[in-house]
Amino acid sequence: MTGFVVKRLGGAVFVLLVLSALVYGLFYLAPSDPARLACGERCSPAQIAQVREQLGLNESVLTQYAQFLQGVFTGRDYSTGVSTLRCDAPCLGFSYQSDQQVTELILDRLPATASLALGAMVIWLTVGVGTGLLSALRRGGLTERALTVATLAATGTPVFILGLLMLMVVCAYLQWLPFPTYVPLGEDPEQWAWNMLLPWLTLGFFESAKYARLTRSSTLETLAEDHIRTFRAYGVGERAIVGRHALRGAVPPVIALSALDLGTMFGGAVLTESLFGIPGLGKTLIDGVRVIDLPVVVGVVLVIGAAVVLANVVADLLYAAADRRVVLS
Please tell me the distance from the alpha carbon of residue 34 to that of residue 52, in angstroms, as a whole number.
8
So what's the pLDDT on residue 73?
A: 87
Please tell me the distance from the alpha carbon of residue 142 to that of residue 123, in angstroms, as a whole number.
24
Specify whether the CB–CB gap between 56 and 35 falls below 8 A: no
Residue 69 has pLDDT above 70, yes or no: yes
Lowest mean pLDDT among 161-170, 174-183, 258-267: 258-267
* b/e per residue 201-220 (b: at least 16 CB within 10 A): bbbbbbbbbbbbbbbbebbb
SS3 content of the chain, % helix, strand, coil (to 5): 75, 5, 25
Question: Residue 179 gets which letter from DSSP?
Answer: P
| pLDDT, averaged across the chain | 81
Q: Which carries the bigger pLDDT value, residue 269 or residue 32?
A: 269
Q: What's the pLDDT band for 200 if we cut at 50, 70, 90?
A: very high
Question: Residue 244 gets which letter from DSSP?
Answer: I
So what's the pLDDT on residue 192?
A: 92
Cα dihedral 100, 106, 111, 115 sign: positive
Bond before 45 cis per omega within 30 degrees? no
Residue 327 has pLDDT above 60, yes or no: no
Lowest mean pLDDT among 55-59, 82-86, 245-249: 245-249
Query: pLDDT of 132-158, one tens digit each?
Result: 888 888 777 777 778 777 777 777 778
Question: Residue 87 gets which letter from DSSP?
Answer: E
Mean pLDDT of 22-26: 77
* 29 three-state secondary structure: coil
Lowest mean pLDDT among 32-36, 74-78, 124-128, 285-289: 32-36
Residue 24 has pLDDT above 70, yes or no: yes
Residue 266 has pLDDT above 80, yes or no: no
Residue 329 has pLDDT above 70, yes or no: no
Q: Which carries the bigger pLDDT value, residue 100 or residue 27?
A: 100
Please tell me the distance from the alpha carbon of residue 107 to that of residue 104, in angstroms, as a whole number.
5
